[in-house]
Amino acid sequence: MYAKKSLWVAAGLAGAAVAVRMARTPGAASSAHRWLAVTVNCEPEDLRPDKLPSPLQEYGERIETRISAAPADRGTELAVRFRQPPPELARSVPARLAGQDPRQDLRRALRESKALLEAGEVLVPDEPTTHDTPGGKVIGLFSRRASGEGVL
């Protein structure tokens, strides 16, 4: 029985080593420089890089913008990315959990821009109705994190 557990631990450590090596490859570094995109319900000619909504205008020359027709005539694809990728420390897991990853703010600005273009305002959900319990604190943490990552 002990030999089986040792085998599983060794396999897990080998898998972790492969994952760490993959994370440090040049391809993984370029993923930090990928485009963030949303599909907006408007025509491509209605959207211009010099007339973006205010959440994206605040970034000025720090971002690149790409506007194209969405597949299957479903509106316009608005994509943005930083001209210079954020430093690796700013993209770390602790920075993401603390809400200090600059890509989280860019994601939020992109979602707010979509809302402004489609609805004319940014709709904000109500605060969760949780009590000050351990479970409620976990729900609150996930809810705050979701606004930066775009997912819960």
Strand 76-82 and strand 36-40: pairing? antiparallel
The parent domain of residue 79 ranges over 32-124
Please tell me the pTM assigned to this model. Answer: 0.63
Q: Quick one: DSSP state of residue 18?
A: H
**Domain assignment of residue 136, yes or no:** no
Residues 82 and 18 in one domain: no
Residues 49 and 97 in one domain: yes
pLDDT band, very low/low/confident/very high, at 89 (cuts 50, 70, 90): low
Domain tally, the chain: 2
Structure tokens at 121: 């305002």
End-to-end, the C-alpha distance of the chain in Å comes to: 39
CA-wise closest residue to 78 among 30, 121, 116: 116
Residues 25 and 39 in one domain: no
Residues 41 and 20 in one domain: no
- 83 close to 59: Cβ distance less than 8 angstroms: no
pLDDT in tens, 90-110: 666 666 666 667 788 888 899
Say if residue 58's pLDDT is above 80: yes
Average pLDDT over residues 26-31: 48
Residues 64 and 41 in one domain: yes
